[in-house]
Structure 1
Amino acid sequence: MTQLADPPSSGSSAPEAPVVAAKAMTHREVLEALSGLLLAMFVAMVSSTVVTNALPRIVADLEGTQTGYTWVVVATLLTMTATTPLWGKLADLYDKKILVQSALVIFTIGSLIAAFAPSMEVLIGARAVQGLGVGGLTALVQVVIASMVSPRERGRYSGYIGAVFALATVSGPLIGGVIVDSPLGWRGCFFVPIPIAALALVVLQRRLHLPRVTRQVSIDWLGAMLIVGGVSILLVWVSLAGQQYDWVSATSGLLVAVGVLVIAAAIYVEGRVATEPVIPLRLFRDRTTVLATIASAMIGVAMFGSTVYLSQYFQLARGMSPTEAGLMSIAMVGGLLVTSIVTGRVISSTGFWKRYLVGGALLTTVGFALLATIDDTTSLWVVGGFMALIGLGIGATMQNLVLAVQNNTAQADMGAASATVAFFRSMGGAVGVSALGALLNHQVSDKLTEGLARLGIDAAGQGDGSIPDITTLPAPVRDLYQQAFGEATGHLFLVAVPFAAIALLCILAIKEVPLRTTVDRDDEPVATPVSAQDEAVEAVAPAGTTSEEPARPTHAARYVPEEPDARRAAPVGHHRSATGEDDPR
């Protein structure tokens, strides 16, 4: 029987959510629950990678342009980025299991629309719907894991997430390349994730059982709409500037001004108006959270903004087929697979993480600097080696930045904090893809116009941003395209170097705090007994309730905080009982 009392006024601290006591999960139980989450994560990652090698063929088939190529990627990143904080906040308020399943359903609907898309416009819209689901999966998987295991053990499971990320990144392009070269064509790429999503739904329903959180909630719809609106306006500006209008123009200035004003209004609402803000501004009082968030954004710009165009480089600058381009991705993902698993296990065994973040950021920066030297004649072995360095760096950095933030965050804010880091990483990626895509288009067009003029060929319509089928071009023109794309791709990585360097500086400035061995932070409230005359609230398990699904209290559960020095650190995976003793259940 658990008796709880009213919470004190929260002030600037995190809202205190009553957590129904649940027995500690064994390693096997965690892995069973994790299997469904990893399938969901695989779906989210493979949805992007499976289409990467198909994009040149898709754009040519639907008569698109380089701008359309960019927007097929940006549409997913935009909706994923804009909605990630909302998904994270909902995870702090509602049933996480239902939220993950809802994200999978939304993703599946978007995939079906994309598979039957008759035009670039419909395809881009379908990719936006996919992004809504991917945003949920990106935010929620980390949140759910954080609710099951302590930060010390979380490094071990973060390694599994990194492995799945690597597997999706390797298999996606390979599967996509094979499908594009088969009779199914590029449309088959959008059917592939659907059965995996269905399997994830079934596994989650059977294996994922979490303690239920019951408290009065208030959704900050105004803040959510302002965040989504402001981010979307700025991303549209970055995506279209230099193509639909000049960077310095009345249209550009208007979009920037409106976007900044909407973001400013969102900050005001989040800080002064909302009772349950989507992004609690109190999170940014923590130095680690601020620095890790900036580092994640910079890595997003560098990683997504440059590597998303590697497939285009291999196909248009090196004349490879989609399948061959997919095989080239093994170099990068192999490095990512190794460091994500190894660093995750080492961090779990030692509790220290900063040295691996520093090493990963350094390798990433060096890798981008080396890839800045490539062109259409660089040895593929050399390109592969440079890609492997980036993979090693990203594998040691990306997941562990989230872990560092979660280690400093109260459980009641875990969803918002995890989603905030993912949000800024995705924001950086969307900005990087948009801005570097515009740069790539501009440089290729200029080089083609100059080269065709030297050959005495009319350049009208050749430098308009359209993506041709390289194999159908005359040899001199084909050589020009390959040279233009090769040199322009190298310039993209040169632009990415400063962003990777900023991420490295932020990581160096983070103060390392050893990972705690309890799910809750030491200063968080715990359930304690109250006097008999206080109104009691009993947690009664109805007949037929199993140990897998904890019983919901018959009345709203309430907390009274206990002084931090009265609590003992519980062993990994254990929960504290109402008396503050370790509960071995």
Structure 2
Amino acid sequence: MEPDTVTESHQPAVQMTHREILEALSGLLLAMFVAMLSSTVVTNALPRIVTDLNGSQSGYTWVVVATLLAMTATTPIWGKLSDLFSKKLLVQSALVIYTIGSLIAAFAPSMGVLIGGRVVQGLGVGGLTALVQVVIASMVSPRERGRYSGYIGAVFGLATVSGPLIGGLVVDSPLGWRGCFFVGMPFALAAFFVLQRKLHLPVVKREVHIDFLGATLIIGGVSLLLIWVSLAGSSFAWASTTTAILVTAGVLTIAAALYVEAKVAIEPVIPLRLFRDRTTALATTASVMVGIAMFGATVYLSQYFQLARGMSPTEAGLMSIAMVGGLLVSSIVSGRIISATGVWKRWLVGGLVFVVVGLALLGTIDADTPLVVVALFMALVGIGLGATMQNLVLAVQNNTKLEDMGAASSVVAFFRSLGGSIGVSALGAVLSTQVADKVRSGLSAMGITETSHQSSSIPDLKALPAPVRDLYEHAFGTAIGHIFLISVPFAILALVSVLFIKEVPLRTTVDDRDELVGEPVETGATVPVPAAKLR
């Protein structure tokens, strides 16, 4: 069955039954599971991957940053395309791209090829991240969306819990770390066919103008700044000619992108007019800060458990249950209560308070902190993130017109991913520098030359003499604790941004204009005109 084609003029939004929504949602949730799994399943494999491919701490960081960068740069493009083309076709295309990237990464013979495969994976993940939110916004009103956002939160939690566990088991099996890149493929294939059968949305037919120039400038500017953040301090000095060139080029490129988006592009990738809305502007700011705190800090937890606590990948995966358990519960509970009451701001504020407190407490950990205490701190962060991430998107969608839903939803995801990319890059550089300094001074005190044990590399701890292994464990434990402390100010800025958001009651229609259609009744409410059903 082909989707209906409607014109650019306003048409009442498609009304779907709960069963129809759940059927379509099953495919979307599979796609979301694939997107989340691409990061979490590799987390506990990274120390083994980097050791096997003779990588460094910088290489460890870039295996993560490559995906985040590609996802960040392309998320708004996918969102804009969803306002112009078939959303189902775009989601399926993203699944295919993800699968191709997974195959490249699985057979990578070197760190360079692996990072290239992760870039391709990121292109697909960027589409899935943006489009799942957009499609749900096209089917469900903001008031009801909290209910379904709870399902997204549950899938997020499942992928985050099962990903490290599956990844750890696969790494410790005969398949090795390469098997981690095959895990998501069956789910991607299942999502493709479920969406083909169950997702049917109208396609808006109108004159199409793709902002290739703006997209290229956005990708170029973000890439230059992230390359600078991740490599400065290790490959070149922070105060150096290379820094000046990269920063200047990045800033000028982004300035050119802003000019193109504001003055030149007919269909801008990021419509700057969206930021005239106070909620969108503040929620976007909060998303950047949440991204820095969340991605930047939590991505290095697997290193903490494996390199500072001597755990296996499977054991490190089990430790992640503490954080994700809190995230799972809070996302489902907050989503259902928001749908029942229409009140959402208190959940954002409360969630970010938990994030701030949890990160501050994680900033006190080292290689000797009791694991029960670490798990408790992780649970606090998980509870906060579960009540925050999906609801920031919901707040923006509630203030957005239907024709801008794709762009607005992807803008929030874009800036959250941008914050994550910055956080992973910058905090990875800090971690690398601190560990190298501590190991170098420790080796010197032992009378061991650095050529015997390179302080900038990630060694196989089991192969090291006991004193050197203890040195590395304490260096990683202390340095990772400092990373959480660095993340706290960004979480505080997110909290401040949310405090200034004005709470607007959640509307009960998919399209804001449907709120105004109909004759007023005695109570002062309006009766919306029933929307046309799909053939």
Q: TM-score, normalised by structure 2?
A: 0.96
Asked if 1:277 corresponds to 2:273, the answer is no
Asked if 1:317 corresponds to 2:308, the answer is yes
**Match of residue 192 from structure 2:** 201
**Match of residue 435 from structure 2:** 444
Q: Judging changes above 3 Å, is the alpha-carbon distance between structure 1 residues 399 and 569 closer, same or farther for their aligned structure 2 residues?
A: farther
User: How far apart are 1:568 and its partner, in Å?
Assistant: 6.7
Asked if 1:367 corresponds to 2:358, the answer is yes
Letter aligned with residue 214 of structure 1: K
User: How far apart are 1:401 and its partner, in Å?
Assistant: 0.2
Q: Any idea what the Cα deviations from partners look like across 1:421-476, whole Å, max 9, x if unmatched? A: 00000000000000000100000000001111111211236344211111111010
User: How far apart are 1:275 and its partner, in Å?
Assistant: 1.1
**Match of residue 44 from structure 1:** 35
In 1: Cα distance, 2:171 partner to 2:527 partner: 53
Q: Secondary structure at the match of 1:419?
A: helix
Letter aligned with residue 388 of structure 2: T
Name the one with the larger helix percent. 2
**Match of residue 501 from structure 2:** 510
How many residues align? The count is 527
Asked if 1:405 corresponds to 2:396, the answer is yes
**Match of residue 180 from structure 1:** 171
User: How far apart are 1:17 and its partner, in Å?
Assistant: 3.2
Pairing partner for 1:131 from 103, 117, 122: 122
Q: Secondary structure at the match of 2:177?
A: coil
User: How far apart are 1:162 and its partner, in Å?
Assistant: 0.7
In 2: Cα distance, 1:332 partner to 1:343 partner: 17
Letter aligned with residue 152 of structure 1: R
In 2: Cα distance, 1:499 partner to 1:522 partner: 36
Letter aligned with residue 81 of structure 1: T
**Match of residue 406 from structure 2:** 415
Letter aligned with residue 104 of structure 2: I
User: How far apart are 1:220 and its partner, in Å?
Assistant: 1.0
Alignment root-mean-square deviation, CA = 2.0
User: How far apart are 1:106 and its partner, in Å?
Assistant: 0.2
Pairing partner for 1:163 from 154, 160, 167: 154
In 2: Cα distance, 1:224 partner to 1:424 partner: 15
In 2: Cα distance, 1:464 partner to 1:120 partner: 19
Asked if 1:335 corresponds to 2:326, the answer is yes
Q: Judging changes above 3 Å, is the alpha-carbon distance between structure 1 residues 87 and 584 closer, same or farther for their aligned structure 2 residues?
A: closer
- In structure 1, the gaps of 5 or more residues are 1-15, 529-561, 578-582
Please show how residues 54-133 of structure 1 align to structure 2 within 5 Å. Answer: 54-133=45-124
Q: Any idea what the Cα deviations from partners look like across 1:305-326, whole Å, max 9, x if unmatched? A: 0100000100000000000000
In 1: Cα distance, 2:44 partner to 2:123 partner: 22
- Are 2:437 and 2:455, in contact at CA under 8 Å, matched by a contact in 1? no
In 2: Cα distance, 1:71 partner to 1:360 partner: 30
Q: TM-score, normalised by structure 1?
A: 0.87
Letter aligned with residue 511 of structure 2: D
**Match of residue 27 from structure 1:** 18
In 2: Cα distance, 1:211 partner to 1:310 partner: 43
- Are 2:29 and 2:155, in contact at CA under 8 Å, matched by a contact in 1? yes
Moved over 2 A (4+): 16-23, 459-464, 522-526, 567-571, 574-577
Q: Judging changes above 3 Å, is the alpha-carbon distance between structure 1 residues 261 and 492 closer, same or farther for their aligned structure 2 residues?
A: same
Asked if 1:243 corresponds to 2:246, the answer is no
- Are 2:435 and 2:455, in contact at CA under 8 Å, matched by a contact in 1? no
Please show how residues 338-349 of structure 1 align to structure 2 within 5 Å. Answer: 338-349=329-340
- Are 2:71 and 2:417, in contact at CA under 8 Å, matched by a contact in 1? yes
Letter aligned with residue 448 of structure 1: V
Letter aligned with residue 98 of structure 2: F
In 2: Cα distance, 1:570 partner to 1:237 partner: 55
Q: Secondary structure at the match of 2:369?
A: coil
Q: Any idea what the Cα deviations from partners look like across 1:150-172, whole Å, max 9, x if unmatched? A: 00001111111111000000000
Asked if 1:154 corresponds to 2:145, the answer is yes
Q: Judging changes above 3 Å, is the alpha-carbon distance between structure 1 residues 451 and 114 closer, same or farther for their aligned structure 2 residues?
A: same
**Match of residue 539 from structure 1:** none
In 2: Cα distance, 1:412 partner to 1:110 partner: 31
- Are 1:92 and 1:414, in contact at CA under 8 Å, matched by a contact in 2? yes
- In structure 2, the gaps of 5 or more residues are 1-6
Q: Secondary structure at the match of 2:458?
A: coil
Pairing partner for 2:245 from 254, 258, 282: 254
- Are 2:14 and 2:531, in contact at CA under 8 Å, matched by a contact in 1? no
- Are 1:64 and 1:466, in contact at CA under 8 Å, matched by a contact in 2? yes
- Are 1:20 and 1:212, in contact at CA under 8 Å, matched by a contact in 2? no
User: How far apart are 1:212 and its partner, in Å?
Assistant: 1.9
Pairing partner for 2:448 from 429, 434, 457: 457
Identity over aligned pairs, percent: 72
Q: Secondary structure at the match of 1:418?
A: helix
Please show how residues 569-584 of structure 1 align to structure 2 within 5 Å. Answer: 569=526, 575-576=530-531
Letter aligned with residue 64 of structure 1: G
Pairing partner for 2:225 from 230, 234, 244: 234
Letter aligned with residue 372 of structure 2: W
- Are 1:446 and 1:463, in contact at CA under 8 Å, matched by a contact in 2? no
